[in-house]
Amino acid sequence: MTSYVDQRNQGAASEQVVPNPDENALKKHVEFFDRNNDGIVYPWETYQGFRAIGAGFALSAFAAVFINAGLSAKTRPGKGFSILFPIETANIKFAKHGSDSDVYDSEGRFVPSKFEEIFGKHAHTSPDFLTSDELQELLKANREPKDFKGWVAAWVEWKVLYLLAKDSTGVLRKEAVRGVYDGSLFAKLEKERASGKKKA
């Protein structure tokens, strides 16, 4: 995300991202899918965004239906149903669901301590990545009683992230997870895919 400041300590193996406390990181996360920058994400834009980051036709179509159908009404308080299932990015904070990691607070701001908690609690193999089993442990730990919708939403989000962002060894790197929260991973994946197409 452009409003984040990278603080690099000399000789440090990793970089720490310090968010602007007034920044709605969740909004920036979603804005990647607002392909025409009009403040509204339609299902076809969600589809285009997923295709841009390397998702296949089926996954992109599923994401377009699942995400827009699930979030549209929440981001349009006081408005009637729309068959176009638009998501209003300015109101994306209202789309937060239960059983999540709480890395975004109620206003959609990034919470560094919650991000670090993910890896502090569940990255047993290495502090720098999550394995598939560790990811499953994270999902189970975050489940709130009888919050079935939240369980499904969290499972889909993390599983899609794992499919798209795992490295060649099959693990989900910390920097990739951070990139999802600060919005930078999507742009990176899109650039890599575009570069791969040119080489082909």
pLDDT given at position 198: 65
pLDDT given at position 200: 56
- Asked whether residue 155 falls in the same domain as residue 90, the answer is no
Output the tens digit of pLDDT for each of the chain's 200 residues: 333 333 333 333 333 444 454 468 999 999 999 999 999 999 999 999 999 999 999 999 999 999 999 999 999 999 999 999 999 999 999 999 999 999 999 999 999 999 999 999 999 999 999 999 999 999 999 999 999 999 999 999 999 999 999 999 999 999 999 999 988 899 999 998 888 776 65
Domain range for residue 36? 21-95
Residue 104 in any domain: the answer is: yes
- Domain final residue pick, 67, 95, 123: 95
- Asked whether residue 87 falls in the same domain as residue 102, the answer is no
Q: Can you give the three-state secondary structure of the chain, one letter per residue?
A: CCCCEEECCCCCCCCEEECCCCCCHHHHHHHCCCCCCCCEECHHHHHHHHHHCCCCHHHHHHHHHHHHHHHCHHHCCCCCCCCCCCEEHHHHHHHCCCCCCCCECCCCCECHHHHHHHHHHHCCCCCCEECHHHHHHHHHHHCCCCCHHHHHHHHHHHHHHHHHHCCCCCCEEHHHHHHHHHCHHHHHHHHHHHHHHHHC
- Asked whether residue 187 falls in the same domain as residue 101, the answer is yes
- Asked whether residue 102 falls in the same domain as residue 184, the answer is yes
pLDDT given at position 199: 64
How many domains would you assign to the chain? 2
